[in-house]
Amino acid sequence: MELFKVRKKENTLTQILIKCSSGNQKAQEHLYKEYYGYAMSIALRFSNNRDSAVDILNNSFLNVFQYLTKNGEKEIKNFKLWLRKIIINKSIDYYRSNKNKYDIEYDEYLPDTDIPEDVISKMTAEDIIFQLQKLPDTYRLIFILYEIEGYSHKEISDKLNIKETLSRSNLSRAKNMLRTILQKADLHE
Amino acid sequence: MSKQDDKWIEIVREKLDNYSPVYNASDWAKLAGKISAASGGHVWLLSKLISSVKVILVSTLIITSVAVSTYLYTKKDTKKNNKTTNTIINENKTGNITTSDNSKSESAKTKVLEIANNIDKNIIEKKGQNNSQTKKESGDNENKNNSTGVILTNKNLVPTPDNNNNLSKEEKRTMIPYNGTTQTVKSANENRSFNQHNKQKERPDKTSFAKLTPATFIADNKISTNRLTTPIRQNTMPATKTKKIKEHIEKPFYAGISYSGFYTNNTEWQQNKYLSLFGLTFEKYIFKKISISFNPKLSVNGIATKHTDYETPEDSLYTPVYIDSSEVYTSKLSFIEMPLLVNYNFYSGKKFNLLATIGVTSKYTFSSSNNLSDDLKQYNNKFTFAQAGIFSIKYERKLNDNLFFDFEPFFEFPIRKEPEIFNKNFYGFNLCLKFKLF
């Protein structure tokens, strides 16, 4: 029964993608609606505010629709994974284009601090995203790519065009800073 | 430290993976604007090319139609003016033959004389095949015929070309009475009538020269007597050869008023609405069965739409409503429609005609009233332009010779899909009252 449901959903998705290929705006809206939650949650992790996240999300979907219109849906094996990669790439592009614009000064030295599990557990996802957005763009990007998306330092260095060592050191700093931010957030509550 | 690190990061990862923000329609509105802009730029060249081809096709169609119709009229006039082929003959009530003018009278005479001469020659040939006794009877009969039948005078007889002054009795007998109505020619030895409308029934014996009157000869040789004796329906004389004269193809021009109605059920507009359009109609036949019609019309009850404060109001102007908007604008859209159609008359009855129609229509949409702020009203000055193809079947009822009533159910499909409200198929009908102007 479950298999049947999965296949039915795949068929529906294929039909929507076919319609999107022909430029059907209704189908595009349907697809956008269907994957909005999934895609937006990824975009929000990488961005420092909601508007940026929406920009990343919309640019990603625009790429999806343009690709579908040009190449069709046949080569797309796993749409969800494909969409995720597009969003990550768009986030990196967004970071590159706004690197100088939004980078803020922050303290270089941050002490290693422990963070109790219960502090994190009682936080909602929105709270965590809100705290993540307080991180500098570079730190946040490296932290999310490495810890959440599972990229290696080699891949991160390739994507961001930085050295591996810098990726490692920035990840360490990002973790320390996030711990501090989360503890502060817990204290304020 | 690393284990503890792993734990809190694991929790963060889990929470982020399970997080799914609530859908916000305004985000899609922003993307829709981007898509329109992107697709508009991408397809610009193609749309221009298609538009150019359409303009060229329509122009070619119109020019060809005018050229063909002009050519046909010129050809017809040439035939009319050619004295060796046609001469209009009028007749008066007394049965005397007159021509429409003096210049044409000579050629008319010439034509009739040629026919009569041919008849004479044939009769003489047949006469040679018969004996002299028959000739005598024929002569006697002729005298009787003259005394009892139609009075043959120079006025209502067409003389033979030999010599008008030296006409023999035999030759006179071959003259064709011509009074424009159904003729009764009495033979010599019997007052047998020969009704030309029933000539097949009363055809005389071919072997008897006595019965070989001009009328019978005409019947025997299958010469159409209608050309000679019934000019009431066609006031033309035949050409020298017995070719049928090409009928005059009537290409009337109609003008009238029209009403169109169609029902919209677009849920995006949050309403089902019956739209009415009033307009004018012009129709010109370019061939016997093909006509071109132009039917400009204006919508009288616009489509009311609502839209939110989108990032680009130009995109939002014709976009449907989203309820979760902070600010809602409404506007009433009206449009001018200009269909150009080609009609093919596939059935012509006494009381009605049926026509199949194909064509294109252009809709120029404008916002007739709205509550937009002043800075947004500039976008209303811009016409948006939609194009659609039309298929229809037209029932054309003849009210009298010059007055017609049309009922035309139609199907419209979008070609140029802007604005979005016209990006769908429509079904509707046209009613039209038209007059034959010329």
A70 and A145 housed in the same domain:
no
By residue range, what is the domain housing residue A50?
Answer: 2-97
How far is CA B164 from each of CA A82, A113, B383, rounded to the nearest angstrom?
106, 140, 80
By CA distance, what is A31's nearest residue in B? B28
pLDDT value, residue B343: 93
Handedness of CA B67, B71, B72, B77 (dihedral sign): positive
A25 and A89 housed in the same domain:
yes
Cis bond leading into B296, ω under 30°?
no
For B177-236, what is the HEC assignment? ECCCCCCCCCCCCCCCCCCHHHCCCCCCCCCCHHHCCHHHHHHHCCCCCHHHHCCCCCCE
A38 and A80 housed in the same domain:
yes
Of A33, A41, A66, the CB nearest to B23: A33
For the segment A18-33, what is each residue's pLDDT rounded down to a tens digit?
888 887 888 888 889 8
Q: How far apart are CA B88 and CA B82, in angstroms?
A: 11
A12 and A83 housed in the same domain:
yes
* Surface-to-core class of residue B330, CB atoms within 10 Å of its CB (0-12 exposed, 13-18 middle, 19+ buried): middle
- Split into its structural domains, chain A has a count of 2
A77 and A15 housed in the same domain:
yes
Q: How far apart are CA B333 and CA B368, in angstroms?
A: 6
* Binary contact (B15, A58; C-beta < 8 A): no
Token pair 């019309």 is found at: B297
Structure-block tokens of residue B20: 């799914």
**Mean pLDDT calculated for residue range B67-86:** 61
pLDDT value, residue A75: 74
A9 and A80 housed in the same domain:
yes
- Residue B161 identity: P
Least confident range of B118-122, B232-236, B386-390: B232-236
Task: Give the DSSP H/E element, type plus range, for residue B352.
Answer: strand B352-370
pLDDT beyond 70 at B257: yes
- A32 in B contact zone (CB under 8 Å): yes
Handedness of CA B269, B271, B272, B278 (dihedral sign): negative
A146 and A92 housed in the same domain:
no
**Does a structural domain hold residue A106?**
no
Q: How confident is residue A179, by pLDDT bands cut at 50, 70 and 90? A: confident
Q: What is the CATH number of the domain that holds A68?
A: 1.10.1740.10
B18 HSE (CA, 13 A, CB side): 9
A87 and A124 housed in the same domain:
no
Rounded to whole angstroms, the maximal C-alpha distance in chain A is 56
* Binary contact (B34, A36; C-beta < 8 A): no
Structure-block tokens of residue A17: 């993608």
Q: How confident is residue A13, by pLDDT bands cut at 50, 70 and 90? A: confident
Q: Name the most confidently modeled range: B179-188, B189-198, B408-417.
A: B408-417
**Does a structural domain hold residue A110?**
no
A68 and A7 housed in the same domain:
yes
Average pLDDT along chain B? 65
- A131 in B contact zone (CB under 8 Å): no
Residue, of A177 and B122, whose pLDDT is higher: A177
pLDDT value, residue B123: 62
Q: Name the most confidently modeled range: B32-41, B120-129, B206-215.
A: B32-41
User: What single-letter DSSP state applies at residue B241?
Assistant: S
pLDDT value, residue B125: 62
- A113 in B contact zone (CB under 8 Å): no
Q: How far apart are CA B358 and CA B45, in angstroms?
A: 26
Of B1, B21, B22, the CB nearest to A44: B21
Least confident range of A45-49, B191-195, B302-306, B420-424: B191-195
Q: How far apart are CA A33 and CA B307, in angstroms?
A: 19
Domain end point (choices A62, A97, A132): A97
Q: How confident is residue B282, by pLDDT bands cut at 50, 70 and 90? A: very high
* Surface-to-core class of residue B133, CB atoms within 10 Å of its CB (0-12 exposed, 13-18 middle, 19+ buried): exposed
Q: Which of B296, B282, B234 is nearest to B438 (CA)?
A: B282
A157 and A84 housed in the same domain:
no
**Does a structural domain hold residue A127?**
yes
**Does a structural domain hold residue A126?**
yes
Structure-block tokens of residue A73: 């849906």
- Is residue B303 a contact partner of residue B269, using CB atoms and an 8 Å limit? yes
Which residues partner with B290 through β-bridges?
A: B344
**Does a structural domain hold residue A104?**
no
Phi, psi of B38 (to 5 degrees): -65, -45
Three-state SS at A24: coil
Q: How far apart are CA A156 and CA A145, in angstroms?
A: 7
Residue, of B323 and A116, whose pLDDT is higher: A116
Q: What is the CATH number of the domain that holds A126?
A: 1.10.10.10
pLDDT beyond 70 at B368: no
By CA distance, what is B15's nearest residue in A? A125
**Does a structural domain hold residue A111?**
no
**Mean pLDDT calculated for residue range B160-187:** 46
**Does a structural domain hold residue A54?**
yes
Domain end point (choices A47, A65, A97): A97
Q: How confident is residue B405, by pLDDT bands cut at 50, 70 and 90? A: very high
Mutate to test the interface with A, among B22, B30, B35 (most CBs of A within 10 A): B35
pLDDT beyond 70 at B404: yes
A83 and A128 housed in the same domain:
no
**Does a structural domain hold residue A107?**
no
pLDDT beyond 90 at A12: no
Q: How far apart are CA B256 and CA B289, in angstroms?
A: 20
A7 and A55 housed in the same domain:
yes
